[in-house]
Amino acid sequence: AIIYDPNYVRSYYNLAKIYHEKKKDTELAISYLKEALKVDPDFADTYFLLAKLYKDRGQLKEAEEICDRLSKIYGLESTSHYNLGILYGELASPKAIKEFNIAIQIDPEYAPAYYNLAVSFAYLSPPKIELARKHLDLATKYGYKPDPKFLSYLEELEKKWR
């Protein structure tokens, strides 16, 4: 497809996915993603995959820079901010909390965002247990089924920090 239309961004993105998932060639996948960004610097899927590849390679600074660029692209899409929060969370960045909050501002009943806020607050050092519990309660109120391991972890924290 690139031969017929070198400006079709999805071709570069799809090649990157193939080289990453099937061929396990991260270097070539990254080069295709960089080409995709040259064709369309606003194609968000490219940023998500590029940030993931950098994270997987231990290039956390580069991954966070990509996430920062991605956060500027998004407007009022709760799912996009949620996904960005997940990426920041995988980088252990406090920016995850900001992105989950934006997702909730856009969609006040976005249960997975409340749940991931609860998880984020629980794993801070020191943990913010009251905020974790508050957001967990909101997540369940809006229909989220929490992981039993997280519930046990939060209960242990509550006992330890009382």
Q: At which residue do the structure tokens 């997280």 appear?
A: 150
In angstroms, the CA 89 to CA 82 distance is: 10
pLDDT in tens, the chain (162 residues): 666 777 788 899 999 999 999 888 999 999 999 999 999 998 888 998 999 999 889 898 898 888 888 877 776 688 888 988 998 998 889 999 999 999 999 999 999 999 999 999 999 999 999 999 999 999 999 999 999 999 999 999 999 987
pTM of the model: 0.76
In angstroms, the CA 88 to CA 68 distance is: 9
**Is 88:67 a contact under the CB 8 Å cutoff?**
yes
